[in-house]
Amino acid sequence: MKKTDIAMVILIASISILAAYFIVGSLPVFQDTAKPVKVKTATPIAEKIVPPDSTLFNPEAINPTVEVIIGNEAQDSSTTVPVESTPQGQ
């Protein structure tokens, strides 16, 4: 082998060793478990319950679950689908 070939093998081997060192160091398996780590702490949940806004939740508010007919026309009962006949999950 020539001197340039030996130098190239040494260069490639040293770059490979350096890359392997940093790759293995980044894996969590090989990190020191005795070293303390800073983590975010959770904020405690307040036990105080805030009452809902009275402008939204009031006795005069519109109930969206009640069927509303707009106009003078009465809705034909044959086109109405009862709640019991609708399949579950839809």
Is the distance from CB of 30 to CB of 24 less than 8 angstroms? yes
Mean pLDDT of successive 10-residue stretches along the chain, which has 90 residues: 91 96 84 82 86 80 77 61 53
The pLDDT of residue 9: 95
Distances (CA, A) of 65 to 7, 22, 55, 72, 82: 81, 61, 19, 21, 13
**Rounded Cα distance, 30 and 55, in Å:** 58
Cα pseudo-dihedral 79, 80, 82, 88, rounded to 10: 80
Start-to-end CA distance of the chain, whole Å, equals 76
Cite the DSSP H helix spans in 1-90.
3-26
Q: Which two tokens stand for residue 23?
A: 């790759």
The pLDDT of residue 79: 54
Quote the pTM value: 0.35
